[in-house]
Amino acid sequence: MALLFKIININLLQYFLLAVVIFTSAICSPSQPLTSSANGRTLVTISNPNCGDYQSCLKLTPKPDLVYTHSTDNDTSIHFISSTLGGFPGFFITRTATPTILQINWDSLLNNCSDSFNLPSIPDDSIGVLLLSFFNIDHKDIHWTLDKNGSINCDSSTCKFGYTSSEQSSLNETISISLEMKNKQSSFEDLPHLLFSPSSMHIDLQITNLDKSQMNKSDGIKLLVFSSFNEYKETLERTIDDENSPGVFTKRTFLFSQDNENNTNFLQWKPVAYNSKERVMSKTMEINSSHLTDAELPRLNYPLYCFHKQFYSNYSVHKFNASFVQEGKSSATKIDLITWSLIFGLDQPPKEKLSTFLQLMLFVGVGMSFVVMFVSLIYVVAKKWQKSRATNEPTLINEDILDY
């Protein structure tokens, strides 16, 4: 009997391990993208939409760099607009109830802002970010160009492009802004692996060859945040430490809303920056970020300014600063690289979940424990039953004694 239960124990463990292997191969296949199962939207990206219809746009030197991405699911539209038109990088996201591509009146956009954007319906909500300053670098010395001679790497599911301070800028530093949008909830491929949704934009900022003398506790990257909602709250949330996002951080979120939290938009980041291209945990910098303070709406980015002036009589503008702290002492006068990522978007920010690997490890650990406990329990019960049966069995009388 003992041998029988040992065989059963071994076979059950073998079948369980086989099931784990099959489960692992099914969910951890390299062909599976790091996206959610949400229905994908369709992206269409246009550079300088209908610029050719306006002489005021065609005569611009240098040419405008307004990039418009239209995301639709045949019921609603999400509009992403990015530009440095006006001298300052600005990006905003808005949503309408119809799947119609917006049109731009360039004469108005470049002059009085009146009716610059032609939309079939009033936007439901919007949020925008204006990059106001980089340390104490004079913005007049920065001339922005689209990366790779103006090329935009976009298709129906993903859009990636960016801006760089051009070689014509009178700077030793180089500033790069990388933008990414997707049609599904995704995790950014590089650390710190921020999650972003189909209604949000990921911003990755890189500054190279920065003079240390320009770094102090108060100076950093200053941003303006525009929202169609007036109320906001700040939340701090501990992140999950897994292979997708190693390290535990206190993720910081500004959540904007109006009357209730059903309609919201957000700005979010993790308080960590990197000073190496590899983005390893040993090459991190701490971020000190300020609270939001009220600000005015400046006309430093034409699309961002004109859009909010046209569609909203009541909106909020806030400023905040993110400074970077380098640990340890170094005799170097330059910082080779600083990289910082943040996301902003409509609705609630996506929630982090345990990675597939951690779920698998928990499944294996807990499952194996239950199997061993179950088989051991059966074995103990069977042994007790066998012993009890042997004790209660009547003893046979020896036949030789009976014959005597």
pLDDT in tens, the chain (404 residues): 444 444 444 444 444 444 444 343 333 333 223 333 345 799 999 999 999 999 999 998 888 899 999 999 888 999 999 999 999 999 999 999 988 899 999 999 999 998 999 987 889 999 999 999 998 887 777 889 887 666 788 999 999 999 998 765 566 788 999 999 999 988 888 877 888 899 999 999 999 988 777 666 567 899 999 999 999 999 988 766 555 555 556 789 999 998 766 789 999 998 888 888 888 877 888 888 899 999 999 999 999 999 999 999 889 999 999 988 876 666 667 888 899 999 999 999 988 665 555 556 555 666 667 677 777 788 778 777 777 777 766 655 554 544 54
Q: Are 56 and 193 within one domain?
A: yes
Q: Are 182 and 221 within one domain?
A: yes
Q: Are 169 and 156 within one domain?
A: yes
Residue among 54, 145, 70, 149 at smallest CA distance from 106: 54
Q: Are 334 and 186 within one domain?
A: yes
72 assigned to some structural domain: yes
- The encoded tokens of residue 78 equal 């999400």
38 assigned to some structural domain: no
Domain that includes residue 369, residue range: 1-26+354-387
- The encoded tokens of residue 189 equal 């491929």
Pairing of strands 158-165, 153-154: antiparallel
Phi, psi of 14 (to 5 degrees): -65, -45
- The encoded tokens of residue 251 equal 């993720």
376 assigned to some structural domain: yes
120 assigned to some structural domain: yes
Q: Are 315 and 365 within one domain?
A: no
Give the DSSP H or E segment for 71: strand 67-72
316 assigned to some structural domain: yes
Q: Are 311 and 266 within one domain?
A: yes
CATH of the domain at 207: 2.70.98
398 assigned to some structural domain: no
Give how many domains the chain has, as a whole number. Answer: 2
41 assigned to some structural domain: no
> Which domain-ending residue is among 309, 335, 353?
353
Pairing of strands 144-146, 272-274: unpaired
What is the DSSP code (8-state) at residue 286?
E
Q: Are 290 and 366 within one domain?
A: no
289 assigned to some structural domain: yes
CB atoms inside a 10 Å sphere around CB 122 = 10
User: What are the residue ranges of helices labelled H in 181-274?
Assistant: none
Residue among 302, 381, 343 at smallest CA distance from 105: 302
Q: Are 10 and 149 within one domain?
A: no
